[in-house]
Amino acid sequence: MAPRFKRVLVANRGEIAIRVMRTCRELGLSTVAVYSEADRSALHVRQADQAYCVGPPPSRESYLSQDAILDAAKKAKADAIHPGYGFLSENASFVRACDAAGIAFIGPPASAMDAMGEKTRARAHMVKANVPVVPGATEPFKTLEEARAFAEKVGFPVMLKAAGGGGGKGMRRIEKMADFESGWRAAKSEAMSSFGNDAVYLEKYLDQPHHVEIQVFADGQGNCIHLNERECSAQRRHQKVIEETPSPILNPTLRAQMGDVAVRAAKSVGYIGAGTVEFLVDSTRSFYFLEMNTRLQVEHPVTEWVTGLDLVRWQLDVAQGARLPFLEPLHPRGHSIEARVYAEDPGQNFMPSPGRIDYLRIPGGPYVRDDSGVYAGYEVPRFYDPMISKLSVWAPTRPEAIARLDRALSEYVVKGITTNLRYLRRILQHPDFVKGDYDTGFLPRAHDQLLGGDDAKLTEVAVLAAAVYAQQRAEKAATKISAATATGTQGSMWRHGRQR
Amino acid sequence: MRTTRYYAKTKRGQEPETVDVSPLGGQRYAVTYLGAKHELESLVLPHGAVSLIIDGESYAVEFEEVGDEVRVLVKGQVTKVDVADERKMRMRAAGGSFTVEGKQTIAAPMPGKVVKVFVKVGDTVTEGQGIVVVEAMKMENELKSPKAGKVVEVAAVEGTAVENGAKLVVVE
């Protein structure tokens, strides 16, 4: 099918909006930005060919406003909308609204999103498609006895979860049968008070699993392939910080197995476009379906590095009816790691630190890629995600990739706001990370190590530098005062006195 | 050349360490710190960047000022350094809080101008309460009461110049 898009609206902000626009430009497509009132000065507005304000700063009233975004698309005469990640990217009703408006949504059909959107529904679909899921119930229990019998069957430890819950709330881990009844009651009352619904279901608790995900891609002709995995176990507060591919814990057999299962999962819901199937991998290397992200993933650059592909280009091609260019599994070439640079303070429980970026220097050199959405002089708004950039590298081997990312991070300079740059380097230097032996419990476990331990020599250099800097500033100030005195302006007795 | 003494802290509550800086001409300095003498060449660049060569070792240093402290970025490590010269130390001594007995004189820590007097004789003040503002080098410095008590004398007059050490207010 011949390409038919001329103009693409990117319904997002920050680095991902810019990432998508870059590929559009390379393909000769015109780009349309949308922005909230807080984002008038954002970089993605300047990068686009057209820009439309879609509402006030809160996302709910702007980036999540389907009407405002569709209005902008109509005004701009956009043929297609790329949703990026987050915001409306996994919203099936928005997909239907785009369909109704005759504007192509660059992503899967609404039906596939529906199937994967809700956790228990996705789980039921996966069980039907013979995809392994974390052993557990798909429905809430009616009685304690029923729950107890089920816990016995899947084996302890188990996790009780509020059916109406989310975001890590309403979950309770139970170690043994003796604790079950009290845990059950506590979980129910917590679910009631937090979500107004005391329905509770149960899953086997996986002890510090790895989070490994498979990139899949499907076209509209029923073809689907996987593009290998990404290891995403380095997480703080359930958010990914560092991702890499290949995963240090996968071998070719396991990769092929997980890849096949991921493709099966995608096919079972009629998936089209880029998607990611997330798995938990336990210490015995058994893997379980966690969820499917029905969009482009934040960490897609590492896959691009080892495959040599432009995934946004593939998204655009598939959305215009193209077939996948090949269907056989692709062997990853070399190793890639990405670090997420956040405007936050790891020493203050990762508190976001919005504010003005006074100075910015982005690293360079061989095989270094920075996907950033900010610039020097830019005020990082307090309304959105604190991620300011993704820094990724490629190297032939994992140790070389670690050294390269560490080197590149050492060149990164952001002044005016607090960032996690140093924390990121500490992760890369940590023995467990270097060994490739880290699970989702790694960052919380190593937290103190990742913060403390200044290098005494560098502290000494900092003191020497600061003292001399103070001296140089005093000298400069004295020069200014004597110049002012010499010209007769603002000369006062005490200033004369101070100069001696 | 004249040596200037600085007081540096890298941790809160730490006793300040002395750093003696002697200009050697141009951007070169002899610096004595922790008993060792170093020769530094410090080239100041725009945006708070400094190219520093210490005894032949090269460091790309970035400065960022946050209140009284500077954040110093060296090879990826951020160190918060609190640097004060003699004058600043005196200011702090005057502005700092201690538990003190008897009559206390709040004196000008440097030559300057009295901008504001917040109290009059007979006022009751608490420890740390602002008493007088003295302006020097275009900076306003609020001097605080070293103790809780009563104001027994006010020598400072708004708008007048004062010498280093001049009596401003007495609290008992």
Q: Would you kindly state where each structural domain of chain A is located, as residue ranges? A: 7-106, 135-204, 210-451, 458-499
Alpha-carbon distances, residue B75 vs A364, A429, A459, B62 (angstroms):
16, 14, 11, 10
Structure tokens that stand for A394 in this block: 């490629």
Q: How far apart are the first and last CA of chain B?
A: 44
pLDDT tens figures, A89-136: 999 999 999 999 999 999 999 999 999 987 778 888 899 999 999 888
Q: Do A494 and B161 touch (CB under 8 A)?
A: yes
Predicted confidence at residue B65, as pLDDT, reads 83
Residues of B in contact with A475 (CB under 8 A): 23
| Chain B contacts in chain A segment 5-44 (CB below 8 A) | none
User: What burial letters (b/e) apply to A13-51, b meaning 16+ CB within 10 Å?
Assistant: bbbbbbbbbebbeeeebbbbbbbbebbeebbbbebbebb
Mutate to test the interface with A, among B11, B14, B15, B73 (most CBs of A within 10 A): B73
Q: How far apart are CA A130 and CA A144, in angstroms?
A: 29
What domain range includes position B114?
A: 98-171
Tallying the residues shown for chain B, one arrives at 172
Q: How far apart are the first and last CA of chain A?
A: 83
| B141 shares its domain with B107 | yes
Catalytic status, residue A295? yes
Q: Is A348 on the interface with B (CB under 8 A)?
A: no
Decide: helix, strand or coil at residue A73: helix
Q: Indicate the pLDDT class of residue A497, thresholds 50, 70 and 90.
A: very low
Residues of B in contact with A459 (CB under 8 A): 10, 77, 79
pLDDT tens figures, A369-385: 999 999 999 999 888 98
| B75 shares its domain with B109 | no
| B15 shares its domain with B75 | yes
| B109 shares its domain with B149 | yes
Predicted confidence at residue A47, as pLDDT, reads 95
Residue B93 lies in a domain: no
pLDDT tens figures, A11-60: 999 999 999 999 999 999 999 999 999 999 999 999 999 999 999 999 99
Nearest CA-CA distance, residue B67 and chain A, Å: 12
- Residue in B17, B31, B74 nearest the CB of A462: B74
CATH class of residue range A7-106: alpha beta
| B9 shares its domain with B82 | yes
Q: Do B78 and A422 touch (CB under 8 A)?
A: yes
- Residue in A421, A458, A492 nearest the CB of B79: A458
* Sign of the alpha-carbon dihedral angle for A388, A393, A398, A399: negative
Residue A198 has pLDDT above 90, yes or no: no
pLDDT (tens digit, 0 to 9) for every residue of chain B, 172 residues total? 689 999 999 987 788 999 999 999 999 999 999 999 999 999 999 989 999 999 999 999 999 987 677 899 998 888 999 999 988 888 777 765 444 557 888 888 666 789 889 999 999 998 878 898 887 655 567 788 877 889 999 999 998 888 777 889 998 8
Predicted confidence at residue B98, as pLDDT, reads 40
Comparing C-alpha atoms, which of B99, B101, B25, B76 is closest to residue A457? B76
E strands, A94-236, where? Answer: 104-105, 158-162, 171-174, 200-204, 210-218, 224-236
CB-defined contacts A:B, below 8 A: 118
The verdict on domain A135-204 having CATH code 3.30.1490.20 is yes
- Residue in B10, B76, B136 nearest the CB of A425: B76
Q: What is the pTM of this model?
A: 0.80
| B13 shares its domain with B36 | yes
Decide: helix, strand or coil at residue A149: helix
Residues of B in contact with A472 (CB under 8 A): 27, 42, 44
Nearest CA-CA distance, residue A345 and chain B, Å: 12
Residue A157: cis peptide before it, omega within 30 degrees of 0:
yes
- Residue in A458, A477, A494 nearest the CB of B75: A458
Q: Is B66 on the interface with A (CB under 8 A)?
A: no
Predicted confidence at residue A121, as pLDDT, reads 81
Q: How many domains does chain B have?
A: 2
Cross-strand pairs, B167: B107
Nearest CA-CA distance, residue B116 and chain A, Å: 19
Q: Do A468 and B52 touch (CB under 8 A)?
A: yes
Q: Is B165 on the interface with A (CB under 8 A)?
A: no
Of B65, B86, B107, the position where a domain reaches its end is B86
- Please indicate whether residue B94 or residue A63 has the higher confidence score (pLDDT): A63
CATH number, residue B53: 3.30.700.30
Residue A168 has pLDDT above 70, yes or no: no
- Residue in A454, A462, A470 nearest the CB of B85: A470
Q: Do A470 and B17 touch (CB under 8 A)?
A: no
E strands, A287-375, where? Answer: 287-293, 335-342, 344-345, 351-352, 355-356, 359-361, 368-372
Q: How far apart are CA A463 and CA A35, in angstroms?
A: 44
Predicted confidence at residue A496, as pLDDT, reads 41
Cβ within 8 Å of residue B51, ≥6 positions away: B42, B43, B45, B58, B59, B60, B61
Of B29, B56, B86, the position where a domain reaches its end is B86
| B77 shares its domain with B106 | no
Q: Which of A295, A369, A425, A426 is catalytic?
A: A295
Mean pLDDT of chain A: 91
Predicted confidence at residue A484, as pLDDT, reads 64
| B49 shares its domain with B115 | no
* Of A59-73, A470-484, B5-19, minimum mean pLDDT range: A470-484
Q: Do A477 and B136 touch (CB under 8 A)?
A: no
Q: Do B112 and A415 touch (CB under 8 A)?
A: no
Q: Do B4 and A413 touch (CB under 8 A)?
A: no
Of B64, B86, B108, the position where a domain reaches its end is B86
| B17 shares its domain with B58 | yes
- Please indicate whether residue A351 or residue A195 has the higher confidence score (pLDDT): A351
CATH number, residue B125: 2.40.50.100
Residues of B in contact with A471 (CB under 8 A): 4, 6, 21, 23, 29
Say if CB A224 and CB A266 are below 8 A apart.
yes
| Chain A contacts in chain B segment 2-41 (CB below 8 A) | 4, 6, 8, 10, 17, 19, 21, 23, 27, 29, 31, 33-34, 38, 40
In this structure, the number of other CB atoms found within 10 A of the CB of residue B122 comes to: 9
| AA letter at A30 | S
Cα-Cα-Cα-Cα dihedral of A398, A399, A402, A405, to 10°?
A: -90
Q: Do A494 and B111 touch (CB under 8 A)?
A: yes
Cα nearest neighbour of A480 on chain B: B137
Q: Do B19 and A416 touch (CB under 8 A)?
A: no
Mean pLDDT of A465-470: 94
* Of A153-167, A317-331, A353-367, minimum mean pLDDT range: A153-167
| AA letter at A20 | V
| B13 shares its domain with B73 | yes
Residue A246: cis peptide before it, omega within 30 degrees of 0:
yes
Predicted confidence at residue A489, as pLDDT, reads 45
Q: Do B74 and A461 touch (CB under 8 A)?
A: yes
Q: How far apart are CA B72 and CA A183, in angstroms?
A: 50
Nearest CA-CA distance, residue A338 and chain B, Å: 18
Looking from the CA of B154 toward its CB, the CA atoms found within 13 Å total 16
Predicted confidence at residue A411, as pLDDT, reads 93
Q: Do A463 and B52 touch (CB under 8 A)?
A: no
| Chain B contacts in chain A segment 408-427 (CB below 8 A) | 409-410, 413, 415-416, 421-422, 425
Q: Percent of chain A scored above 90 by pLDDT?
A: 73
Which H or E run includes A318?
helix A311-319
pLDDT tens figures, A240-299: 999 999 999 999 999 999 999 999 999 999 999 999 999 999 988 999 999 999 999 999
Residue B139 lies in a domain: yes
- Residue in A464, A492, A498 nearest the CB of B38: A464
Alpha-carbon distances, residue A304 vs A243, A276, A297 (angstroms):
13, 14, 12
Cα nearest neighbour of A477 on chain B: B137
Q: Do A409 and B23 touch (CB under 8 A)?
A: no
Residue B91 lies in a domain: no
Decide: helix, strand or coil at residue A438: coil
| AA letter at B84 | A
Mean pLDDT of A137-158: 87
Cβ within 8 Å of residue A185, ≥6 positions away: none
| B67 shares its domain with B36 | yes
Torsions phi, psi for A10 (to 5 deg): -105, 110
The verdict on domain A210-451 having CATH code 3.40.30.10 is no
Q: Do A461 and B64 touch (CB under 8 A)?
A: no
Cα nearest neighbour of A359 on chain B: B47
| B120 shares its domain with B162 | yes
Q: Do B54 and A421 touch (CB under 8 A)?
A: no
ipTM above 0.85, yes or no: no
Predicted confidence at residue A495, as pLDDT, reads 42
* Of A77-86, A191-200, B31-40, minimum mean pLDDT range: A191-200
